[in-house]
Amino acid sequence: MGNKASFPVVPTSQDRIVMVTGANCGIGYEIAKWTAMMGATVILACRSEEKARAAIEKMEKEFTEEKARGTSKLTERARLAIEFMKVDLGSFKSVDHFCEEYKKSGRPLHVLVCNAGIASIPFMKNEDGLEMILQVNYLSHFLITAKLLPTMKRSGVDCRIIFVSSTAEKLASFDKESINYTGSARNYPVHSCYNRSKLYQVMQMFAMSRRLTGTNITVNSLHPGIVETEIWRYSNSWMTRCLLFFARCFCVTRTPINGATCAIDLAVNPEHTGVSGHFWKDCKMTSTSRLSRNEEKQEALWNASFNFVNEYLTMEEINCMEGENRNI
């Protein structure tokens, strides 16, 4: 691959379970496909069963083609170990039900990739009364990590949480009093809301990594680049159209597999065992904004985030997130 970032193909046991949100298309599709082709059991956490089933069929076809191409170290099984589980990140009730169903299965969870996201959408408020970008990109993933953290703590060594964020976090501001946009649709600052959601993911990564020091779980986040995926499907603002136009002109947009490379590397690379609390780009650690590294603001966000989701959490889940009962 020349100087391009790449990931190792690491033969993986089917007992190792990887969960990817938004895995039916784009970056999530490639993360799910490649970790499954290495042998892991992969949970496609998606809203649409129809799209997820179609994605699974496509993955199986591409798996057969990849083996025929002679790609080494892929699983020797005839079919991939991939499953669909329904979750709508625009609804806390759906997220809660999804997590409870997974916990009832009694299975471990080794890698959680918080990938699903939306950008440049018309103003939407959901059933929880929250601005949609905030909920889908950040708060629902906060809730998923909180509810599944006890399971991950019981899942053995080398468990990993990965947030697919963005360097757009460097364009964001922070005010704990206005985390949820409550203004009018006419004045909706869609790009600011997106940037802030990515800032919150990075800040959550730092805060979680501190609390999970010395446990079996690492937490990292990454920038995938400007990737040509369905995240732009609602892009009707002049700012978004200009961004994509110039990105394409200067050949800086990426294909989904190129955008997924860093996340796949963080999910499977043995060299990253025990490595936590970092932001990555092109499979290398890189710096984040001074704002994102401000511990006082991280803690303010952390506490405010619990206020949005507390009713869906047990004391065990809250204690796990706070770093108590470190090895339950």
6 inside domain: no
145 inside domain: yes
Q: Which of 194, 200, 234, 312 is catalytic?
A: 194
91 inside domain: yes
User: What pLDDT does residue 328 have?
Assistant: 54
266 inside domain: yes
326 inside domain: no
User: What pLDDT does residue 246 have?
Assistant: 43
User: What pLDDT does residue 248 have?
Assistant: 42
User: What pLDDT does residue 63 have?
Assistant: 98
270 inside domain: yes
Q: What is the CATH number of the domain that holds 144?
A: 3.40.50.720
Helix (H) or strand (E) holding 18: strand 17-21
Q: Is 200 helix (H, G, I), strand (E, B) or coil?
A: helix
Whether 312 is a known active-site residue: answer: no
205 inside domain: yes
Cα dist. 180→188, 256, 262, 313 in Å? Answer: 12, 30, 30, 20
User: What pLDDT does residue 253 have?
Assistant: 62
Domain residues for 69? Answer: 17-321
68 inside domain: yes
Tally the domains of the chain. 1
Q: Please enumerate, as own/partner, the contacts of 96-101 that have beta carbons within 8 Å and a separation of 24 or more.
A: 96/143, 96/147, 96/312, 98/45, 98/144, 99/143, 99/144, 99/147, 99/148, 100/147
pTM score of the predicted model: 0.92
User: What pLDDT does residue 106 have?
Assistant: 97
Mean pLDDT (10-residue bins), the chain, 328 residues: 75 98 96 98 98 98 96 96 98 98 98 95 94 98 98 98 97 95 94 96 98 97 78 50 45 77 98 98 97 98 97 96 73
